Amino acid sequence: MRKNKVLITFLLIITMLLAACTEGTNVDGNSSSSSDSSSDATSQGPLVIGFEADATTLLANHDVNYTTDTLIRNIYDPLIDRDSQTAEFAPVLAEEWKNIDEKTWYLKLKEGVKFHNGADFNANAVKFSIDYILDESNGSFYRSRWANVEEVVVLSDYEVEIHTSVPFPSLIQRIAEDLLIMEPGYVEEVGIEKASSEPVGTGAYTFVEWSRDNHLKLKAFEDYWQGKPGIEEVEFRIIPEFSARMSAFMSGEIYLFKNIPVDSVKQFESNEVKQISSSRINYLALSNLVDGPLKDVKVRQAINHAINGNELLETVLSGYGSRITGPLSQLNSDYAETKEYDYAPDLAVKLIEEAGYSPEELTLTLDTPSGRYPMDSHIAQAIASQLQSIGINVEVRVNEWGQHLEKIQKRETGDMFILGWGPAFDAQSTIENLFTLDAPYSSFYQENIEKKIKETNQLFDQEARYAGYAKLQQQLVEQAAWVPLWQQADLYAVKSSLNFSPRVDEKMNVFEMSWN
């Protein structure tokens, strides 16, 4: 009898728990037509795009994370964008811009643009959006990039001036890459918290529903200033695992996703894979800041000659990427041609001997992340074996991404490490962040180069600026500051029913897509 009671009690507890759990889950109970697995991708329902991770917030100008930015650019508009293929600046909400003097910029804004809530877009919205970044209490992760901005002055409803504390030639880059326009009235009315989860912008799509880590649903904005978007509804579905993304693509649940691993491309129909050369570069940093043989330029040059970049690209990356010879990608507006270190193992040995070493007595460390860049840890192993073929011992250390980045920032890596940078379209954002003493991402430093960087950054004259950066690129290559590897190839899986052209800046603006 007693045992019976125990059993009944126990079963009751289980039943009550079960009943409690099957109600009120945050997973919506309706199976949308898009997730009806029995239907194939047709051009009738919403466009579903598979994404690796979710946005952390839907508020503009707060989180610098790529995913957040890519998703919310469908809700908010920038003042200035980049051309999707050439990366040239293109007007969006700003019709024109010019610098009045070295510390003053003037922007003329587009008239007649409406926010999703019906409010007018005007100069106040621009001031509000920049002030949001500058206000320390908001904790925007963009703030350091905008620290040179002193004040935004509203001249009229559609004209603003931006005053900077020092000459800031790269302000337009910052505006194009960072700034999205928020609706001041709405943010003030509902508060930051609500504006972060139910955003209002002037973008092509209005907010419908956000289920964190599950999906973000948007619908076309009827009164969009560039005309009603061709695709009515969009769902960004969060699918962290590549295999699951691939299966969802094959079963027709999603139409598009980015980042097919190079070793999985063969599993897709050839007409379903689109690629573009990204402005994100991968390189092997050679540190002259740690005590060791790499302090000697001849050893750094030797390593450049001992690594066969073309072979790595063809064998490990199956040819998906474009070789670079200097610190900038060819998509970079300041790109200048630099000499290439050809693959010459004998010359490498000779240079090492000239530096007073023999290859066999060199033992170098190589830090690499795993899974951050295409085939990164495989590339590291292949580089190690190429260096070992001339006698250099290499110890490869594979790190989790966060740990890898922290090691680099704290200058705790050894002689060499693999890193990617970008997408970068101007020299300053690359060179300044890689080759000055405060910038840890190359571990290469020379005083005269830093001086030259600082001088060039201040130049307003385009020609002088370009010439300055060209000189710097030559110098860095001569000094063998690192081993330039390649520009990544961005690989997308795209259903044939969707008309989508990859952009050089990795953005996915649904307004630019259409059904075939």
Partner 1 sequence: MLDFIIKRLIQVVIVVFLALTAVFFLIRLSGDPTTLFLPPDAPREQIEEYRELLGFNRPLYVQYTDFMKGAIQGDFGESLRSGDDALGLVLERMPATFQLAFSALLLSIIIAIPLGVLSAYKRNTLFDKASVGITVIGQAIPSFWFGLILIFIFAAQLKLFPSSGGGSVNHMVLPVITLALYSVSRFVRFTRSAMLDVLNKDYIRTTKAAGTPTSTLIMKYALKNSLIPILTLIALDLGVLLGGAVITEAVFSWPGVGRLLHQSLMNRDFPIVLAGVFIIAIIYAVINFITDILYAYVNPQIRVK
**Closest distance to partner 1 from the beta carbon of 207 (Å):** 16
∠ CA 231-234-239, rounded to 5°: 140
Q: What are phi and psi of 260, to 5 degrees?
A: -80, 125
Name the residue nearer to partner 1 (CB basis): 20 or 101: 20
Q: Please name the amino acid found at residue 93.
A: L
Residues 301 and 276: their CA atoms lie apart, in Å, by: 31
Give the residue, chosen from 72, 93, 238, 489, that forms a contact with partner 1 under the rule CB under 8 A: 238
Name the residue nearer to partner 1 (CB basis): 32 or 264: 32
Give the residue, chosen from 102, 135, 213, 455, that forms a contact with partner 1 under the rule CB under 8 A: 213
**Closest distance to partner 1 from the beta carbon of 301 (Å):** 27
DSSP H helices, 85-213, are 123-134, 171-177, 184-190, 192-197
**Closest distance to partner 1 from the beta carbon of 44 (Å):** 17
Name the residue nearer to partner 1 (CB basis): 155 or 437: 437
Tokens of 446: 């020379």
**Closest distance to partner 1 from the beta carbon of 14 (Å):** 8
Residue in the structure block whose two tokens are 């509804």: 233
475 near partner 1, rule: CB under 8 A: no
Residue pair 65/257 in contact by the 8 Å Cβ criterion: no
37 near partner 1, rule: CB under 8 A: yes
Burial 266-297 (b: 16+ CB within 10 A, else e): eebeeebbbbbbbbbbbbbbbbbeeebbbebb
Per-position DSSP letters for 297-340, written without gaps between them = HHHHHHHHHH--HHHHHHHTSTT-EEE-SSSS-TTSTT------
Residue whose C-alpha is closest to residue 322's, from 285, 276, 257, 284: 276
Residues 274 and 258: their CA atoms lie apart, in Å, by: 9
| 3-state DSSP assignment of residue 441 | coil
Contacting partner 1 within 424-463 (CB under 8 A): 429, 432-433, 438-439, 441
Name the residue nearer to partner 1 (CB basis): 90 or 244: 244
Which segment (250-258, 315-323, 464-472, 504-512) binds partner 1 by CB under 8 A? 250-258
**Closest distance to partner 1 from the beta carbon of 27 (Å):** 3
Give the residue, chosen from 388, 409, 462, 501, that forms a contact with partner 1 under the rule CB under 8 A: 409
497 near partner 1, rule: CB under 8 A: no
135 near partner 1, rule: CB under 8 A: no
211 near partner 1, rule: CB under 8 A: yes
How many CA atoms, within 13 angstroms, populate the side-chain half-sphere of residue 169? 17
Name the residue nearer to partner 1 (CB basis): 145 or 323: 145
Name the residue nearer to partner 1 (CB basis): 35 or 318: 35
Residues 142 and 344: their CA atoms lie apart, in Å, by: 44
Let me know if 32 is exposed, middle or buried by CB neighbors in 10 A (0-12, 13-18, 19+): middle
30 near partner 1, rule: CB under 8 A: yes
Which segment (7-15, 83-91, 127-135, 507-515) binds partner 1 by CB under 8 A? 7-15
Name the residue nearer to partner 1 (CB basis): 417 or 441: 441
Residues 6+ apart with CB under 8 A from 217: 46, 208, 209, 210, 233, 234, 235, 236
Q: What are phi and psi of 150, to 5 degrees?
A: -90, -45
Give the residue, chosen from 73, 82, 116, 215, that forms a contact with partner 1 under the rule CB under 8 A: 215
494 near partner 1, rule: CB under 8 A: no
**Closest distance to partner 1 from the beta carbon of 31 (Å):** 3
Give the residue, chosen from 8, 12, 155, 244, that forms a contact with partner 1 under the rule CB under 8 A: 244
**Closest distance to partner 1 from the beta carbon of 283 (Å):** 14
**Closest distance to partner 1 from the beta carbon of 240 (Å):** 6
**Closest distance to partner 1 from the beta carbon of 216 (Å):** 12
Residues 379 and 109: their CA atoms lie apart, in Å, by: 47
42 near partner 1, rule: CB under 8 A: no
Contacting partner 1 within 272-331 (CB under 8 A): none
412 near partner 1, rule: CB under 8 A: no
